A and B are shown apart, each in its own frame.
Chain A
């Protein structure tokens, strides 16, 4: 193995590590956090649209029902999140990486 090849191999390794480090420390927690925040807002949106799913009568559910065909994914994910959300603290706590 020539010196040039060894340097190239080392640079590849270093680059991979750096990318991994950047992903793990910066980009992954960042988008996860933002996505969690987006999910929280979406939950509030869904709750405002369909409070009757929890037995709270809503005078506008007649109109929000129109949105249901387009909210399939959101609806399913929302229900799932509502089930396994132990407490608000738990959910908020998850958003911090120590």
Chain B
């Protein structure tokens, strides 16, 4: 299995449970594992009964397992502070207010939250040398898919801006005929430097996601979840990301044959429709079903986690980067 493993899917299908269980399984197999929750409604804390935050913390009772919860809100304000700091050293007092307004506005646009989350994603992946495996518990499908298709889009964007800036600077240099001081010079232009750094960062993110990440989609045996999964696979494939398989969660347990009460009849009916859907999942999707997890009566935590982990038939061994 690749180093970065992503679990995605519709809201409420049990991504957190599955990714926690898989991380648990990896840690038990002796890999240094980090589980990262990117869902704004963090529930990793609930699974392990322990509060996590923006920095990796060891999980009590499981050796070799760390957990963290990304907080884009905090990242946005950190970013804002950073810009304001360089604003006060670079910009004349007369212009500060004018530019300040622009900066504030940029941090309130709808994209800011996603951009911040994306930055944290890249940070975590880049600084993960001490881990053998990083498991991402992502937020529901729409948001995550957009997030993961960002690098290519952003890289192209930074590239275009860079080209424009270089062109205008080059013209300013040429306009300095006869020993005049050019208005801007290429050497040491902070704007070009900043844009280049951004572009490289996006390129790295794209490379890591394409070459070192594997994706799994968690799906429930119901119509809506299956449809959303089909769309999700489509967009992940479009972004040339590697979807390795489907994990079917919350299957209904079958009653014993001699039971014939109302509950047993209900369960039997339910199991029958779910079999149909499982068949759909097996036959109509070109991705393998790698786990079938039956609904638990209690919340999945503690000992139950090990139980669920055993049902996930996903390779744990680290596969070499080709």
A58 to B161, CA, bound (A): 14
Chain A residues near B99: list those with CB within 8 A: 68-69, 72, 75
Which residues in A have their C-beta under 8 angstroms from that of B176? Answer: 31
Tell whether, in the assembled complex, residue A75 and residue B111 are in contact, meaning their CB atoms are under 8 Å apart.
no
B112 CB, min distance to chain A CBs, angstroms: 4
- How far is it, in angstroms, between the C-alpha of A48 and the C-alpha of B169 when the chains are bound? 16
Bitwise, B167-208 to A at CB < 8 A (1) or not (0) is 111011011111010010000001100110010000000000
Partner of B92, one of A52, A64, A72: A72
- CB < 8 Å: which of B83, B114, B160 contacts A66? B83
- Taking a contact as CB atoms closer than 8 A, the residue among B112, B167, B191 that contacts A71 in the complex is B191
Interface SS of chain A: helix, strand, loop or mixed?
Answer: helix
Contact partner of A67 (CB less than 8 A), chosen from B79, B112, B191, is: B191
Indicate whether A58 sits within 8 Å of B111 (C-beta atoms), given known contacts A41-B164, A65-B83: yes
| Whole-angstrom CA separation of A62 from B105 in the bound complex | 9
Q: What chain A residues lie within 8 Å of B116 (beta carbons)? A: 62
Size of B's binding interface in residues, CB under 8 A? 47
Contacts of A39 in B (CB 8 A): 168
Q: A38-B172, A49-B161, A72-B91 are in contact. Are A62 and B106 (CB under 8 A)?
A: yes
Q: Please report which residues of chain B, range 145-180, place their CB below 8 angstroms from some CB of chain A when the two chains form the complex.
A: 154, 157-158, 160-161, 164-165, 167-169, 171-172, 174-178, 180
The answer to whether A45 and B161 touch (CB under 8 A), given A34-B175, A35-B183, is: yes
- Contact among A42, A44, A69 with B86 in the assembled complex (CB-CB below 8 Å): A69
The B interface is mostly helix, strand or loop, or mixed, namely: helix
* CB-CB nearest in chain A for B201: A63
Query: Once the chains are docked, how many angstroms separate the CA of A30 from the CA of B168?
Result: 16
Partner of B171, one of A27, A34, A50, A60: A34
Q: Which of B208-247 contact A (CB under 8 A)?
A: none
Chain A residues closer than 8 Å to B92, beta-carbon distance: 72
- Taking A35-B172, A62-B115 as given, write out 7 further A-B residue pairs in contact, using a Cβ cutoff of 8 Å, ordered by the A residue number: A31-B176, A38-B172, A59-B110, A59-B114, A66-B79, A70-B90, A76-B98
Contact surface of B with A, Cβ cutoff 8 Å: 79, 83, 86-87, 89-92, 95, 98-99, 102-103, 105-107, 109-112, 114-116, 154, 157-158, 160-161, 164-165, 167-169, 171-172, 174-178, 180, 183, 190-191, 194-195, 198
Q: Which 10 A-B pairs rank lowest in CB-CB distance, beginning with the nearest?
A: A38-B171, A65-B106, A59-B111, A34-B175, A62-B115, A61-B106, A41-B168, A70-B190, A69-B90, A45-B164
